[in-house]
Structure 1
Amino acid sequence: MATIRGRIARRALSPGERLPSIRKLARDLAVSPSTVVEAYDRLAAEGLIRSRPGAGFYAVGVPAPLALAEDGPALDRAIDPFWVSRQSLDAAAGARRPGCGWLPPDWMPEAALRRAVRALSKADAAVLTDYGATQGSPALRRLLARQCAADGIEAGPEQIVLTPSGTQAIDLVCRFLLNPGDTVLVDDPCYFNFQALLRAHRAKVVGVPFTATGPDPDRFAEALAVHRPRLYVTNSALHNPTGATLSPRTAHQVLTAAAAHDLTIVEDEIFADFEPEPSPRLAALDGLARVVRIGSFSKTLSASIRCGYIVPRPDWVEGLRDLQVATNFGGPSPMAAELVLRTLSDGSYRKHLAALHGRLAQRRCEAAIDLAGLGIIPWIEPRGGFYLWCRLPGGRDAAEVARAALAEGVVLAPGNVFSPSQSAPDFMRFNVAQIDHEALRVIARALG
């Protein structure tokens, strides 16, 4: 494939020119004819060549010259809620990403995933070929209902809607409940993609200062009275980016204020499995009356197998299913749902989580020591998870540090991308599983 691409790029093959025969190219490159057949088929799928039955393969056209600046993320774009996502997702292979929001591949249950993929090859044909049902796999919904019960939440399988991802679960709820111009409360700081998604819905975003035990109760009540928001979007378990845990007292105050002002709360549970012991859940305390539970499996299982879920109040299920048809023509891929189900049902998954808790506890401690050596101090010591929310030394501008590190191929997450009020200029979120010694050296140079 590289040989043919090179010939097209050098214009040694012109548009419409016939490629060497399979047998000739196999002889020239000293490979088997089947290898050439597969290479030609893949190049045809990419649109670089095309087949004429009985006449061979022909070049389609000359691609535009490759520009490295266009092949990766734009390095000069504004540092905003899209910035870290773009840099992390589009980074070149091998780039260091202490600012990203997922674990490295070797931290994930690869063996269980491979078993599930092998088993999937024997699944019913419908799983491999059909659209997803509007509410998603009944078997996976039954499993999630059991997990809800373990968390003290009464919700049967019929009250759970599977979605193509956790982000799309939030998107679906926003489509269901918001109109352009509605106000939505978020924590300050909060997960930056909450802001990006709400911006796409043309909502007015208002931040509430976040403390070590949850949103500041007085400022939360004040924001409800002044702004009359429609939604509040938050992480209760291991808050992103701070790693803080909601306290029972703050949970009670939040729910009391929400009831008084008819506020709906969207509780994102994506980090719940990283907790050593469960913390208070708004959905459990509220009984799903005004709290919507959402989540996905991308942090502990696989970010490649996209599947999320919504647990709303019962009378919202039909409306969410209709919206799912309108926006996605069905629920998540049946293949993705089957892979998640098989892996979660595998007895090794609980062992994976237990090992992950221990490994992350050690890594958080090591990373905190390494960062402290650079004068970077964590805001709190989280109970679990893989984030440390840290203040930089000397009031350094985290955006400037991130730009300097990016120039050396290291992606960082500066504090103000998380802050609606732009009140965290000297903070940075670090993913402890993605920090190595070379990344630390680059960070040290960027600070200097």
Structure 2
Amino acid sequence: MFELARDSTVPLVDQICERVTQLVRHGQLPAGVRLPSIRKLARQVRASPFTVVDAYDRLVARGVIESRAGRGFFVMRRPPSAPLAAIEALPDLGSDALALAQFCLTQRADVIPAGSGFLPENWLLEAAPGGVLARLVRGRRTQPWLPCEPQGLPELREQIASRLVQNGIAAGPANIVTTYGASQAFDLLARILLAPGDAVLVEDPGYFVLFEQLRAHHVRLIPVPRHADGPDLEALEAACRAHRPRAFFMQTLLHNPTGSSADAAHCHRILSLAEQYGFAVVEDDVYGDLHEGPAVRLAQIDGLRHVIYVGSYTKLIGPALRVGYVAAEGALVMQLIERKVLTVLSGSTLLECFVSEVLDGGRYKKHVERLRLRLARMRRDARAGLESAGIEFDSAPGEGIFLWGRVPDAVPVDGLARRARDHSILLARGALFSAAESCNQWLRFNVAHSASPPLVEFLRESLRAA
């Protein structure tokens, strides 16, 4: 029937599955034909019957073959392919915020993800090698396949609280609620804090997915300009007087998309306004671990009185590890737990055990240090290449994953982004990051992907042609 490669690193069971699948796909095993019995195939390919049983079970689960009681295994009969083709022929997702989010989450080796929010896969594997999974099933107090406490895995909350204390934030395990990434944290907080019609302050530019989440709760977004040293304080105070906001969502450190960090004076003034006007400050610190040197966080100054602190390990360990958390005062913690139970019941013990294991051995600290060095180098290279192509940047260098670059006025950015798609390049339009629908001539660049010569050459030619 076929031969197996004995010297291959691919397990025999995977080789059998792949060979049978290819034979079916190419019509060499037509629909309805009977496959060799388990013992017969085992003799033909010189494998154990147990290996063949495993392979057949996997092929049944994948819908390639079917088992008929007392008769054996047969190639599945497939329905007409036209409806499937119609489903797969998806329309153009367009250029809005949700389309950008979907493109960022789609893994395609042929695309240069210059506008993505994620780090390269090979950068992330260092933090979570295969041995972590093996350790999860040996000797842990908590079994990763059992239900997770709604508030979160106790040992992970202890680790998070310890890290917060190291950063000067007074929080214990009881102040922590784990979430499926920072996105679920924002959604839970919006459900608790906000009502339709409420005024909510957001930075402009700011995190585009957050804007869409808040709009889904039918609140009024009040944009506050973001500068290199933090939010525009005069605009912030004027918005407080005019709108009496319920909350202000902001990133103190390594702001997305500009890479800037707010200074201490801005942080103190923001907290003073929160005290005066009675609004909550939701501090998004998902990139804070990448900050080099001493850092000032709102939660560090405030002690969780007016600040609700949101963190996540998804960006720096891996996008598949949807583990974030909220640090808040006790009454809000109870509301978060209730809302979490009503939406997803609880978190994933497996994912939270995985993150706990990565944090426990000191590997995470070394991983973050390596990321800082890599990002600093790539930031210099990406900025130099993009500037040579005609992209303009502010004098402040910034830190972290993102560069915020301006395209000359003569170049329509919408058309530039569409042409980039035709060249397998993902660009993130600045307008998506603006609740005020400004920033039309800006682009957000991920420095880890933006030193690519094809990207630089495409931009150089496009800007020159305009």
Q: Partner residue of 1:357? A: 372
2:81 to 56, 60, 64: 64
Partners of 1:326 and 1:366 in 2: how far apart?
A: 47
Picking from 431, 434, 454, the partner of 1:416 is: 431
Contact 1:72 1:90 in 2 (8 A): no
For 1:63-142, what aligned pairs fall within 5 Å after superposition?
64-65=81-82, 71=88, 74=91, 76-110=92-126, 112-123=128-139, 127-142=143-158
Q: Does 1:244 align with 2:260?
A: yes
Q: Which amino acid aligns with 2:132?
A: A
The residue number in structure 2 matching 1:226 is 242
Whichever residue aligns with residue 339 of structure 1, its letter is: F
CA contact (8 A) 1:102 1:299 kept: yes
Q: Where does residue 12 of structure 2 map in the other structure? A: none
Match of 2:212 among 193, 196, 206: 196
Asked whether the equivalents of residues 260 and 399 of structure 2 are also in contact (C-alpha less than 8 Å), the reply is no
Q: What TM-score do the two structures reach when normalised by structure 2? A: 0.87
Q: Do the aligned residues in 2 keep the contact of 1:215 with 1:250 (CA within 8 Å)?
A: yes
What do the CA deviations read for 1:104-133 (whole angstroms, capped 9, x no partner)?
A: 022125364323112012155962322211
**Could you list the runs of 5+ residues in structure 2 that have no partner in the other structure?**
1-16
- The aligned amino acid for 2:276 is A
Task: Give the superposition deviation at 1:9.
Answer: 8.2
Return the alpha-carbon distance in structure 1 between the equivalents of residues 44 and 399 of structure 2.
53
Q: What is the rounded CA distance, in whole Å, between the counterparts of 1:432 and 1:171 in structure 2?
A: 28
Distance 1:445 1:65 in 2: 41
Query: Residues 56 and 314 from structure 1, CA distance in 2 versus in 1: closer, same or farther, beyond 3 angstroms?
Result: same
**Bigger mean CA offset, 128-137 vs 261-270:** 128-137
Matching of residue 347 in structure 1 with residue 362 in structure 2: yes
- Displacement of 1:47 in angstroms is 3.8
2:423 partner SS:
coil
Matching of residues 211-290 of structure 1 within 5 Å:
211-290=227-306
Q: How far does the alpha carbon of each residue in 1:222-244 deviate from its partner, in whole angstroms, 9 at most, with x for none?
A: 22222222221111111000111
In structure 2, the partner of 1:386 is 401
- In the TM superposition, residue 18 of structure 1 has moved relative to its aligned partner by 4.8
Call closer, same or farther: CA 1:250–1:110 in 2, change over 3 Å. Answer: same
1:179 — aligned with what? 195
Amino acid at match of 1:62: P
Q: Which of 58, 61, 67 is equivalent to 1:51?
A: 67
Question: CA–CA distance in 2 between the matches of 1:102 and 1:213?
Answer: 25
Question: Greater Rg, structure 1 or structure 2?
Answer: 2
Q: Which residue of 2 aligns with 1:20?
A: 35
In the alignment, the residues of structure 2 paired with residue 166 and residue 396 of structure 1 have an alpha-carbon distance, to the nearest angstrom, of: 35
Secondary structure of 1:389 counterpart: strand
- Aligned counterpart in structure 1 of residue 168 of structure 2, from 137, 152, 156: 152
1:444 is matched with: 460
Query: 1:401 is matched with which residue?
Result: 416
> Are 2:391 and 1:376 equivalent residues in the alignment?
yes
DSSP 3-state at the match of 2:143: helix
Q: Do the aligned residues in 2 keep the contact of 1:182 with 1:230 (CA within 8 Å)?
A: yes
In structure 2, distance between residues paired with 1:42 and 1:367: 45
Say whether the 8 Å CA contact 2:37–2:73 is kept in structure 1. Answer: no
Q: CA, structure 1 residues 111+248, in 2 after alignment: closer, same or farther (shift >3 Å)?
A: closer
Alpha-carbon distance between aligned partners in 2 of 1:318 and 1:166, rounded to the nearest angstrom: 18
**Identity over the aligned pairs, expressed in percent?**
33
Aligned to 2:325: 309
Query: Cα distance 1:262–1:356, how it changes in 2: closer, same or farther (>3 A)?
Result: same
Contact kept? 2:42, 2:52, Cα under 8 Å: no
Query: Following TM superposition, by how much is the alpha carbon of 1:71 offset from its aligned partner in structure 2, in angstroms?
Result: 4.8
Q: Which residue number corresponds to residue 429 of structure 1?
A: 444
Letter in 1 for 2:369: A
Q: Distance in 1 between matches of 2:374 and 2:188?
A: 35
- CA distance change for structure 1 residues 157 and 314 in 2, over 3 Å: closer, same or farther? same
Report the residue type matching 2:281 in the other structure. Answer: I
Q: Does 1:296 align with 2:296?
A: no
Contact 2:192 2:335 in 1 (8 A): yes
Q: 1:296 Cα deviation (Å)?
A: 0.6
Tell which deviates more after alignment, 374-383 or 258-267: 374-383
Preserved CA contact (<8 Å) 2:201 2:221: yes
Deviations, residues 196-222 of structure 1 (Å, cap 9, x unaligned):
211222222221111111111111112
Structure 1 residue runs of 5 or longer lacking an equivalent are none
| Preserved CA contact (<8 Å) 2:38 2:53 | no
Secondary structure, in 3 states, of the residue corresponding to 1:86? helix
For 1:366 and 1:358, the matched residues in 2 are separated by 13
Deviations 1:384-417 (A, max 9, x none): 2111000013442222211111112111111011
For 1:71 and 1:438, the matched residues in 2 are separated by: 29
**Secondary structure at the counterpart of residue 377 of structure 1:** coil
Describe the shift of the 1:226–1:63 C-alpha distance in structure 2 as closer, same or farther (beyond 3 A).
farther
Report if aligned partners of 1:145, 1:155 keep a CA contact under 8 Å in 2. yes
What is the aligned length?
444
TM-superposed deviation, 1:373: 0.7
Secondary structure class of the residue paired with 1:433? coil
Decide whether the 8 Å contact of 1:307 with 1:337 is kept in 2: yes
What is the CA-CA distance between 1:80 and the residue it aligns to? 1.9
Counterpart amino acid of residue 132 in structure 1: C
Q: Give the structure 1 partner of residue 4 of structure 2.
A: none
Question: In structure 2, do the counterparts of structure 1 residues 226 and 50 end up closer, same or farther at CA, with 3 Å as the change threshold?
Answer: farther
Comparing 283-292 and 180-189, the one that deviates more: 180-189
Separation in structure 1 between the aligned mates of residue 344 and residue 240 of structure 2, nearest angstrom:
33
SS at match of 2:114: coil
Q: 1:236, 1:245 within 8 Å by CA — same for their partners in 2? A: yes
